[in-house]
């Protein structure tokens, strides 16, 4: 009985298959639409042809219709893989690279559309048409001083239309026109006369930088360890005293050597390979009023307070009148560096110049800060601008300052 059932089941299955095949395979002349009219079999040839989703195969007197399954239709380009060649860029054009592919090689990418935005949601965009031959792509240079995060996406277009957008890539443009919006700019303590560099702080917040020296009779230099341009150039710093302790000071250092290491403290101070072993120093001292002086630091010694430069025992300081500088408010100090010397300005007014050039070929700069008899020198900085100067490379101002040349232990 079981054998008979198996035989009958096989015959039934064969009959079903014949019926299915009979409904699919028919003479071409007998093809009839649902309305009862004969029709030509549709074929999809390429972009713009809206033929059906079935394609006939000619097998002589018969046409066999098979289902056409497309994993991707229309065959527009796939989503590119986008990267920023450098995620952090200093005062230079941003460069992007990407890889893209297409489902069908006969429909290659003809061009790209690149979008740029200052927000990751691309609420507002700038668009660039990018020929395929220009990948990797360098964006147009922005004006000197531009900074901030930018976000990018790209797509490929071919004969079928616009492809899928890529992933989002981000790049941070930084400038030596520091506004302290981005901790990535790298301001940090680089040298101190104290034994512990961890007691020196550079803190970013709300677009400002706060520098702190939390020890008595010592100093620190804070720097991003970026080189200044070739002379002529200007350094401008806008600063306010936070902790008004007697003889606390701040200033600008420039003409500093890069050295082979930073993180210099009292134990490594005498090593000439340390960064900022020598430099020029503008020092502004608070004591209820402001006084300032310029010195050339030629070396350091590993002693307490070595090179702090606060006490005016060697002279070389000039007091500022109330109309020249606000002892309790913001003041802008500027150094203009030329090939034959440099000038000193406060709040736009020239206060001195010198023809000393010994360290002007060394390009590193920073912020100086020191304490005297009380702990904690604290200053708030609104900006520190490093900018090329137009015009002659030489200074025309007659020198008015006799530099106080210092070692590390005096002043």
**CB within 8 A of 329, min separation 6: which ones?**
240
Provide the token pair at 297.
């630091």
3-state secondary structure the chain: CHHHHHHHHHHHHHHHHHHHHHHHEEEHHHCCCCCCCCCCCCCCCCCCCCCCCEEEEECCCEEEEEECCCCCCCCCCCCCEEEECCCEEECCCCEEEEECCCCCCCCCCCEEEEEEECCCCCCCCEEEEECHHHCCEECCCCCCCCCEEEEEEEEEEECCEECCCCCCEEEEEECCEECCCCHHHCCEEEEECCCCHHHEEEEEECCEEEEEECCCCCEEEEECCCECCCCCEEEEEEEEECCCCCCEEEEEEEEECCCCECCECCCCCCCCCECCCCEEEEEEEECCCEEEEEEEECCCCCCCCCCCCCCCCCCCEEECCCCCCCCCCCEEEEEEEECCEEEEEECCEEEEEECCCCCCCCCEEEEEEECCCCCCEEEEEEEEEEEECCCCCCCCCCCCCCCEEECCCCC
**What pLDDT does 24 receive?**
43
Q: What is the mean pLDDT of residues 80-99?
A: 96
**What pLDDT does 302 receive?**
82
**What pLDDT does 317 receive?**
86
**What pLDDT does 411 receive?**
38
pLDDT tens readout for residues 245-271: 888 999 999 999 999 999 999 999 999
**What pLDDT does 215 receive?**
87
Confidence label for 90 from pLDDT (cuts 50, 70 and 90): very high
Provide the token pair at 236.
């401008």
Confidence label for 237 from pLDDT (cuts 50, 70 and 90): very high
Confidence label for 62 from pLDDT (cuts 50, 70 and 90): low
**What pLDDT does 375 receive?**
72
Confidence label for 373 from pLDDT (cuts 50, 70 and 90): confident
pLDDT at 128 over 90: yes
Q: What percent of the chain has pLDDT over 90?
A: 69
- Average pLDDT over the chain reads 84
**What pLDDT does 210 receive?**
98
**What pLDDT does 406 receive?**
59
Of 188, 305, 307, 290, residue with least CA distance to 241: 290
pLDDT at 45 over 90: no
Confidence label for 177 from pLDDT (cuts 50, 70 and 90): very high
Cβ-contact 130, 112 below 8 angstroms: yes
pLDDT at 57 over 80: no
Confidence label for 70 from pLDDT (cuts 50, 70 and 90): low
| Lowest mean pLDDT segment, chosen from 10-19, 27-36, 371-380 | 27-36
**What pLDDT does 374 receive?**
75
Answer with the residue of higher pLDDT: 409 or 287: 287
Asked whether the domain spanning 177-406 has the same topology as the one spanning 81-174, the reply is no
pLDDT tens readout for residues 299-325: 888 877 665 544 433 457 899 999 999
**What pLDDT does 170 receive?**
98
Q: What is the mean pLDDT of residues 225-231?
A: 97
Answer with the residue of higher pLDDT: 374 or 341: 341
**What pLDDT does 37 receive?**
38
* Rounded-to-integer distance, Cα 98 and Cα 94, Å: 14
* Rounded-to-integer distance, Cα 207 and Cα 182, Å: 8
At the topology level of CATH, where does 177-406 sit? Jelly Rolls (2.60.120)
Provide the token pair at 374.
């009380």
Q: Name 98's bridge partners.
A: 82
pLDDT at 2 over 60: no
Return the SS3 of 22.
helix
Question: Domain residue spans in the chain?
Answer: 81-174, 177-406
CATH dotted code for 81-174: 2.60.40.10
Strands 169-174 and 148-158, sheet pairing: antiparallel
């Amino acid at each position: 009985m079981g054998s008979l059932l198996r035989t009958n089941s096989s015959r039934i299955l064969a009959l079903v298959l014949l019926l299915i095949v009979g409904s699919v395979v028919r003479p071409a002349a007998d093809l009839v639409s649902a309305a009862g009219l004969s029709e030509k079999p549709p074929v999809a040839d390429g972009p713009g042809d809206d033929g059906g989703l079935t394609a006939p195969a000619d097998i002589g007197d018969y046409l066999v219709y098979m289902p056409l399954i497309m994993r991707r239709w229309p065959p527009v380009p796939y989503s590119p893989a986008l990267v920023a060649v450098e995620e952090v860029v200093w005062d230079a054009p941003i460069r992007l690279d990407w890889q893209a592919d297409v489902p069908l090689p006969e429909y290659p990418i003809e061009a790209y559309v690149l979008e740029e935005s200052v927000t990751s949601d691309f609420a507002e965009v700038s668009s660039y048409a990018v020929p395929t031959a220009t990948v990797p792509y360098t964006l147009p240079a922005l004006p000197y001083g531009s900074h901030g995060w930018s976000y990018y996406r790209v797509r490929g277009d071919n004969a079928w239309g616009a492809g899928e957008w890529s992933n989002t890539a981000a790049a941070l443009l930084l400038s030596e026109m520091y506004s302290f919006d981005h901790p990535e700019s790298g301001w940090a303590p680089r040298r101190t006369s104290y034994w512990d560099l961890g007691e020196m702080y550079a803190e970013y917040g709300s677009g400002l930088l706060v520098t702190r020296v939390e020890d008595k009779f010592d100093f620190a230099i804070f720097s991003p360890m970026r080189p200044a341009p070739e002379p002529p150039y200007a350094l401008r710093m806008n600063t306010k005293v936070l902790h008004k302790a007697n003889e606390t000071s701040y200033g600008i250092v420039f003409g500093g050597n890069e050295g082979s290491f930073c993180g210099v403290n009292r134990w490594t101070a005498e090593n000439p390979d340390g960064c900022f072993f020598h430099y020029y120093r503008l020092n502004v001292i608070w004591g209820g009023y402001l006084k300032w002086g310029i010195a050339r630091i030629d070396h350091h010694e590993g002693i307490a307070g070595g090179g702090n430069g606060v006490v005016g025992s060697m002279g070389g300081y000039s007091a500022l009148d109330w109309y020249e500088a606000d002892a309790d408010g913001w003041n802008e100090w500027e150094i203009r560096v030329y090939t034959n010397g440099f000038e000193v300005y406060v709040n736009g007014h020239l206060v001195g110049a010198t023809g000393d050039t010994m360290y002007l070929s060394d390009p590193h700069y920073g912020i100086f800060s020191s304490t005297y008899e009380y702990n904690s020198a604290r200053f708030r900085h609104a900006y520190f601008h490093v900018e090329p100067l137009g015009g002659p490379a030489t200074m025309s101002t007659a020198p008015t300052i006799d530099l106080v040349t210092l070692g590390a232990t005096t002043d």
